[in-house]
Amino acid sequence: MHRYASMAVVLLAAAGILFPAFPVATAADILAAPSGVTIPKGYRDWQVVAPSQRDDTDEIRVILGNGIAMKAFRANTLPFPDGAILAKLAWKRVASPEFPKTFIPGVAPRIEFMVKNSKKYAATGGWGFGRFIDGKPADEKVHATCFPCHQANVKDHDIVYTRYAP
Ligand code: HEC
């Protein structure tokens, strides 16, 4: 019994050493959008650029920016510098049970990010797009829609829709 136990320890240790030799997908690969964009650490602590809402889908949105993005918004810097990241959080709009004339956030169907890297993402206006549902990236087909819609309507604003709400 004792011998088996120590053999198991040896095997586990060997597996620990050998495992990295196999070309396994890391957690970061699995959670990356096709563009390579992943959910940025700490995004929930970023500052608010502006809220928005959409009637046909009954959604409340809040657009956030990291430090580089906020500085550019406030100084009206266009194009946004490399390193700027924008987040779009969305929630279904539900009437508050405590005060039904007020709408509050319900379930969150998705979160989205745009990461500025003018070299890496030159083909999509310098921005890498990522949509995540329950923490997992949407597929390639969904991601193919991002750039065309942003490019079609706001190409004079570095393909960013949101304007800073003072
Ligand atoms: C059919 C048009 C359309 C498509 C497709 C689209 N967006 Fe947007 N996006 C918008 C609009 C309009 C806004 C402005 C904010 C809002 O709608 O609440 C926006 C805002 C954003 C923002 C905040 C920065 C900004 O531009 O205002 C991010 C981040 C974003 N979208 C990411 C994505 C990602 C990722 C995809 C693809 C999975 C995507 N978008 C696809 C229309 C679109």
pLDDT tens, 101-124?
A: 999 999 999 999 999 999 999 999
Which of 1-8's residues contact partners 24+ apart within 8 Å by CB, and which partners?
A: none
- Ligand 1 atom with the smallest distance to the CA of 142 is 38
pLDDT score at 139: 97
Amino acid 123: pLDDT: 98
Bond from prior residue into 97 cis (ω within 30 degrees of 0): no
Query: Which comes out higher in pLDDT, residue 8 or 79?
Result: 79
- Statement: residue 125 has pLDDT above 70: yes
pLDDT beyond 70 at 74: yes
Residue 143 CA, ligand 1 centroid: distance in Å? 11
**C-alpha distances out from residue 77 to 25, 99, 127, Å:** 38, 40, 16
Ligand 1 center to 120 CA (angstroms): 20
Q: Is the pLDDT of residue 3 over 70?
A: no
pLDDT per residue over 84-104, tens digit each?
A: 999 999 999 999 999 999 999
> Cα(66) to centroid of ligand 1, in Å?
17
Do residues 95 and 105 touch, judged by C-beta distance below 8 A? no
State residue 9's pLDDT score.
46
Q: Around Cβ 40, how many Cβ atoms within 10 Å?
A: 14
- At 10, the pLDDT band (50, 70, 90 cuts) reads very low
Q: What is the best residue among 68, 78, 115, 149 to mutate for testing ligand 1's pocket, by most ligand atoms within 8 Å of CB?
A: 149
Nearest C-alpha to atom 37 of ligand 1 is from which residue? 146
The gap from C-alpha 73 to its chain's centroid, in whole angstroms, comes to 19
Query: What residues flank ligand 1, with Cβ below 6 Å?
Result: 52, 61, 63, 86, 88, 112-114, 129-131, 138, 142-143, 145-146, 149-150, 160-162
pLDDT over 70 percentage in the chain: 82
Q: What is the per-residue pLDDT for 2?
A: 54
What does pLDDT average to over the chain?
89
